[in-house]
């Protein structure tokens, strides 16, 4: 019986040992794995992770400019508002807002029937005066012939001096009558010319080639007075704008200086002009000077309109066919980093114009090089990964 108890004890002990071995086996395996492989921290120390970067290729731009920027409202170079010199009822207005007119084109006609009647009456008077002058001329010719004939007769003793004197008196009277008739013709013609001028005031003509900017909504039948605006006509072939500049700003501007005009009315486009006038005095109330610029409207295809709000750049410096990189790519001491096969490489460059968004590169870079934008903590030789 004692032997059976011993066997049972040893069986229980063996079972416990087996269970312990099974429990310790995973721990031994983990320990063996840890001992045979390096830690994660060691991997990171031996192969540091590459920095993710953004690149921008160095590119050429056709032109970059720097200068003073201001804003202005465009106007037609020349414009005029037509007023009538006479009062009356509007008879006809053959033009309306937006129409293109030539110099001398009829813009408006005021009822001038009374003027027409007066003109015809004066024409009749002129014709009558001319007829009377023609009759006086005939009488003068007859008197002249009679005087000459009696002069010959007196020389041949066929006439007396008294008869000749009578013929001379008749000649002088005919000559005076003829001269008077000519003066009357001139007077009547002058009256007719004055009437035609007076009548012309009832017909308003365009003083220039241009566009009808305003027609003031006038229609036939409207009563017109000398204070009534009939139409505004402007020459839009050349546009102008006026800006107010401070004394310091105005010192940077000169007559003939190039300007570049941009605006919301023609997005993506720009048009050249030049400074046409600089005010000779400073406005004491605002401490500013007026600067006027002009631009040819033909290259724009007539896109520039009076009243447009535009931005104008007074060009101080300009560079053509220029290599540029983003401003955040430029580091201290005129250095940039470029990406080459996953490695950051440092280059020293010569810069030109510097703007808020771009920098002009004169030398040190080639077009198309992959410049690293930002990443100020990067150093030459650092490994990089380009973000897509």
pLDDT for residue 20 is more than 90: no
- Stretch 333-339: mean pLDDT: 93
Q: Are residues 259 and 331 in the same domain?
A: yes
Q: Are residues 150 and 274 in the same domain?
A: no
- Stretch 177-186: mean pLDDT: 96
The per-residue DSSP string of 238-255 comes to EEEEEEEEEHHHHTT--T
Can you give the residue range of the structural domain that contains 370?
A: 48-78+236-388
pLDDT at 16: 47
- Stretch 198-225: mean pLDDT: 94
- Stretch 234-263: mean pLDDT: 95
Q: How many CB atoms lie within 10 A of CB 136?
A: 20
pLDDT for residue 6 is more than 90: no
Q: Are residues 240 and 383 in the same domain?
A: yes
Give the whole-angstrom CA distance, residue 194 versus residue 122.
10
pLDDT for residue 3 is more than 60: no
pLDDT for residue 313 is more than 80: yes
Instruction: Dump pLDDT digits (tens) for 89-118.
Output: 999 999 999 999 999 999 999 999 999 999
pLDDT at 34: 41
User: Residue 318 CA to chain centroid, in angstroms?
Assistant: 20
Q: Is residue 188 part of a domain?
A: yes
pLDDT for residue 349 is more than 50: yes
pLDDT for residue 129 is more than 60: yes
pLDDT at 96: 94
Q: Is residue 164 part of a domain?
A: yes
Q: Are residues 324 and 242 in the same domain?
A: yes
Q: Is residue 258 part of a domain?
A: yes
Q: What percentage of the chain exceeds 90 in pLDDT?
A: 80
pLDDT for residue 268 is more than 80: yes
Higher-confidence residue: 320 or 1?
320
Q: How many CB atoms lie within 10 A of CB 204?
A: 22
User: What's the half-sphere exposure (Cβ side, CA atoms, 13 Å) at 66?
Assistant: 11
pLDDT at 387: 83
Give the whole-angstrom CA distance, residue 166 versus residue 154.
13
Q: How many CB atoms lie within 10 A of CB 125?
A: 17
pLDDT for residue 154 is more than 70: yes
Confidence bin at 35 (pLDDT 50/70/90): very low
- Stretch 55-76: mean pLDDT: 95
- Stretch 142-156: mean pLDDT: 92
pLDDT at 36: 39
Q: Residue 70 is part of a domain; what is its CATH number?
A: 2.40.30.170
Q: Are residues 267 and 386 in the same domain?
A: yes
Confidence bin at 15 (pLDDT 50/70/90): low
pTM above 0.75, yes or no: no
pLDDT for residue 195 is more than 80: yes
Q: Is residue 366 part of a domain?
A: yes
Q: Are residues 59 and 118 in the same domain?
A: no
pLDDT for residue 31 is more than 60: no
Higher-confidence residue: 32 or 248?
248
pLDDT at 12: 53
Q: Are residues 252 and 386 in the same domain?
A: yes
Q: How many CB atoms lie within 10 A of CB 372?
A: 27
Q: Is residue 275 part of a domain?
A: yes
Mean pLDDT, all residues of the chain: 88
According to DSSP, residue 60 is labeled: E
Residue 318 main-chain phi, psi, to 5 deg: -150, 140
Which pair of tokens denotes residue 208?
């220039």
Q: Are residues 70 and 163 in the same domain?
A: no
Q: Is residue 189 part of a domain?
A: yes
For CA atoms 116, 118, 122, 127, give the dihedral sign: positive
pLDDT for residue 43 is more than 50: no
pLDDT for residue 47 is more than 80: no
User: What's the half-sphere exposure (Cβ side, CA atoms, 13 Å) at 341?
Assistant: 1
341 burial level (CB within 10 Å; 0-12, 13-18, 19+): exposed
Q: Are residues 191 and 328 in the same domain?
A: no
- The count of residues in the chain is 388
pLDDT at 19: 53
Confidence bin at 17 (pLDDT 50/70/90): low
Q: Is residue 339 part of a domain?
A: yes
Q: Are residues 57 and 139 in the same domain?
A: no
Q: Are residues 254 and 382 in the same domain?
A: yes
pLDDT at 241: 97
Higher-confidence residue: 317 or 374?
317
Q: Are residues 298 and 378 in the same domain?
A: yes
pLDDT at 138: 96
Number of domains in the chain: 2
The answer to whether the beta carbons of residues 90 and 218 sit under 8 Å apart is yes
According to DSSP, residue 50 is labeled: P
Which pair of tokens denotes residue 248?
């310091």
Confidence bin at 310 (pLDDT 50/70/90): very high
Where does a domain end: 201, 224, 256? Answer: 201
Which pair of tokens denotes residue 91?
């008879």
Q: Is residue 243 part of a domain?
A: yes
């Amino acid at each position: 019986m004692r032997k059976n108890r011993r066997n049972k004890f040893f069986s229980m002990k063996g079972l416990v040992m087996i269970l312990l071995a099974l429990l310790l086996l995973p721990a031994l395996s983990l320990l063996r794995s840890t001992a045979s492989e390096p830690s994660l921290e060691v991997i990171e120390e031996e192969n540091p992770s590459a920095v993710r970067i953004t690149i921008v290729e160095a590119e050429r731009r056709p032109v970059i400019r720097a200068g003073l920027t201001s804003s202005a409202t465009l106007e037609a170079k020349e414009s005029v508002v037509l007023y009538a010199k006479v009062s009356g009822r509007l008879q006809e207005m053959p033009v309306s807002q937006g129409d293109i007119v030539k110099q001398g084109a009829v813009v408006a006609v005021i009822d001038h029937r009374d003027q027409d009647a007066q003109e015809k009456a004066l024409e009749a008077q002129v014709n009558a005066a001319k007829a009377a002058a023609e009759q006086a001329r005939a009488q003068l010719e007859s008197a002249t012939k009679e005087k000459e004939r009696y002069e010959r007769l007196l020389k041949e003793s066929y006439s007396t001096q008294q008869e000749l004197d009578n013929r001379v008196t008749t000649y002088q009277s005919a000559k005076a009558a003829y001269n008077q008739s000519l003066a009357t013709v001139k007077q009547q013609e002058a009256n007719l010319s004055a009437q035609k001028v007076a009548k012309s005031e009832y017909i308003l003509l365009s003083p220039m080639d241009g566009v009808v900017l305003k027609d003031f909504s006038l229609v036939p039948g409207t009563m017109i007075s000398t204070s009534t605006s009939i139409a505004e006509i402007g020459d839009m072939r050349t546009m102008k704008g006026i800006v107010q500049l401070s004394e310091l700003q105005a010192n940077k501007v000169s007559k003939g200086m190039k300007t570049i005009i941009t605006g919301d009315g023609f997005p993506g486009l720009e048009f050249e002009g030049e400074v046409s006038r600089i005010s000779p005095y400073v406005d004491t109330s605002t401490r500013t000077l007026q600067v006027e610029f002009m631009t040819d409207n033909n290259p724009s295809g007539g896109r520039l309109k009076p009243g447009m709000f535009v931005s104008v750049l007074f060009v101080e410096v300009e560079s053509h066919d220029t290599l540029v990189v983003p401003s955040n790519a430029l580091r201290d001491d005129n250095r940039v980093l470029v990406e080459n096969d996953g490695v950051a490489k440092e280059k020293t460059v010569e810069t030109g114009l510097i703007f808020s968004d771009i920098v002009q590169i004169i030398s040190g870079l080639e077009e198309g090089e992959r410049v690293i934008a930002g990443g100020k903590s990067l150093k030459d030789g650092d490994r990089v990964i380009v973000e897509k």
